[in-house]
A = this chain, B = another copy of it.
Amino acid sequence: MTQWVYSFGTNLTEGRADMRELLGGKGANLAEMCSIGLPVPPGFTISTALCTYYYSNDKNYPDSLEKEVTAAISRLEQEMGMAFGDAQNPLLVSVRSGARVSMPGMMDTVLNLGLNDETVEGLAKKSGDPRFAWDSYRRFIMMYGDVVLGVAHHDFEDILDTHKRDEGFTQDTEVSDSGWKQIVADFKALALRETGKPFPSDPQEQLWGAISAVFNSWMVPRAITYRKIHDIPADWGTAVNVQAMVFGNMGQDCATGVAFTRDPSTGENYFYGEYLVNAQGEDVVAGIRTPQSLTIKGRKKEGSVLPSMEEIMPEVFAQLDDVRLKLERHYREMQDIEFTVQQGKLYMLQTRNGKRTTAAALKIAVDMVEEKLVTQEEALLRLDPQALDQLLHPTLDPMAHKTILAKGLPASPGAAYGAVCFTADAAEARASAGETIILVRRETSPEDIHGMYAAAGILTSRGGMTSHAAVVARGMGRPCVAGAGSIRIDPEAKTMIIADNQIIEGDMITIDGATGEVMLGTVPTIQPQLSEDFVSIMKWADTHRRMRVRANAETPLDAQTAVKFGAEGIGLCRTEHMFFDPARIQNVREMIFASTREDRQKALEKLLPAQRDDFLALFRIMQNLPVTIRLLDPPLHEFLPQSEEDIHDFAHSAGLDQDNVRRRLADLHEANPMLGHRGCRLGLTYPEIYAMQVRAILEAALEMKMQDGVTVIPEIMIPLVGMQQELAILKKLAEETAQTVFAEKGVEIDYLIGTMIELPRAALTADMIAQDAAFFSFGTNDLTQTTLGLSRDDSASFMDDYIKQGIFARDPFATLDRDGVGQLIQIAAQKGRATKQDLKLGICGEHGGDPSSIAFCEETGLDYVSCSPYRVPIARLAAAQASIRLKKASSLGKSLQHAKKKAA
Contacts and interface: CB of A to CB of B under 8 A. Distances in A.
A372 to B, nearest CB: 47
A674 interface: yes
Given A673-B672, A673-B794, A785-B675, A684 B802 contact: yes
A675 B726 CA distance: 24
Select the residue from A672, A795, A801 with max chain B CB neighbours within 10 A: A672
A791 interface: yes
Contacts of A759: 787-789
Contacts of A670: 791, 793-794
Interface in A286-330: none
Interface string A670-693: 111111110001001100000000
Nearest to A801: B685
A808 interface: yes
Contact of A726 (B760, B785, B807): B807
A333 to B, nearest CB: 37
A722 interface: yes
A212 interface: no
A166 interface: no
A797 interface: yes
Contact of A807 (B684, B787, B806, B819): B684
A714 to B, nearest CB: 26
Interface in A659-712: 670-677, 681, 684-685
A836 interface: no
Given A672-B794, A675-B791, A807 B685 contact: no
Contacts of A793: 670-672
Nearest to A822: B764
A782 interface: yes
Nearest to A819: B765
Select the residue from A729, A759, A817 with max chain B CB neighbours within 10 A: A759
A657 to B, nearest CB: 15
A379 to B, nearest CB: 37
Interface in A32-67: none
A790 interface: yes
A651 to B, nearest CB: 19
Contacts of A671: 673-674, 791, 793-794
A761 B785 CA distance: 10
A128 interface: no
Given A759-B787, A787-B760, A676 B765 contact: no
Contacts of A681: 798, 802
A457 to B, nearest CB: 23
Given A794-B676, A805-B725, A820 B765 contact: yes
A790 B789 CA distance: 11
Interface string A753-766: 00000111100110
A76 interface: no
A570 interface: no
A788 B761 contact: yes
A824 interface: yes
A265 interface: no
Nearest to A761: B820
A722 B789 contact: yes
Contacts of A515: none
A151 B726 CA distance: 40
Contacts of A729: 805, 807
A725 B806 contact: yes
Contacts of A805: 684, 725, 729
A723 interface: yes
Contacts of A794: 670-673, 675-677
Select the residue from A685, A761, A768, A823 with max chain B CB neighbours within 10 A: A761
Interface in A778-832: 782, 785-791, 793-795, 797-798, 801-802, 805-808, 817, 819-821, 823-824
Contacts of A802: 681, 684
Contact of A789 (B764, B786, B807): B786
A238 B806 CA distance: 64
A250 to B, nearest CB: 55
Contacts of A817: 761
Interface in A736-784: 758-761, 764-765, 768, 782
Contacts of A458: none
A720 interface: yes
Given A673-B672, A677-B797, A789 B720 contact: yes
A806 B728 CA distance: 11
A820 B722 contact: yes
B684 A791 contact: no
B824 A760 contact: yes
Contacts of A722: 788-790, 820
A760 B722 CA distance: 14
A143 to B, nearest CB: 39
Contacts of A788: 722, 759-761
A473 to B, nearest CB: 18
Contacts of A725: 805-807
Contacts of A677: 794-795, 797-798
A632 to B, nearest CB: 15
Interface in A9-35: none
A684 B807 CA distance: 10
Contacts of A797: 677
Nearest to A793: B671
A206 B765 CA distance: 52
Contacts of A765: 819-820, 823
Contacts of A782: 789
B790 A675 contact: yes
A821 B723 CA distance: 12
Given A758-B789, A786-B786, A764 B726 contact: no
Contacts of A806: 725
Nearest to A670: B794
A809 to B, nearest CB: 10
B801 A787 contact: no
Contacts of A685: 798, 801
A82 B764 CA distance: 65
A768 B788 CA distance: 15
Contacts of A790: 675, 722
Contacts of A823: 764-765
Nearest to A443: B671
A514 B285 CA distance: 82
A408 to B, nearest CB: 16
Contact of A760 (B684, B720, B760, B768): B760
Contacts of A821: 761
In the A-B complex, the 10 residue pairs with the smallest Cβ-Cβ separation, listed nearest first, are: A761-B820, A675-B791, A676-B794, A760-B760, A672-B791, A759-B789, A725-B807, A671-B793, A670-B794, A672-B674
11 contacts: A671-B674, A671-B793, A672-B793, A675-B675, A675-B794, A725-B805, A725-B807, A729-B807, A759-B787, A760-B789, A768-B819
Interface of A: 670-677, 681, 684-685, 720, 722-723, 725-726, 729, 758-761, 764-765, 768, 782, 785-791, 793-795, 797-798, 801-802, 805-808, 817, 819-821, 823-824
Given A671-B674, A760-B789, A768-B819, 10 more contacts: A670-B793, A672-B794, A673-B794, A675-B789, A676-B794, A684-B801, A761-B787, A761-B789, A761-B821, A764-B820
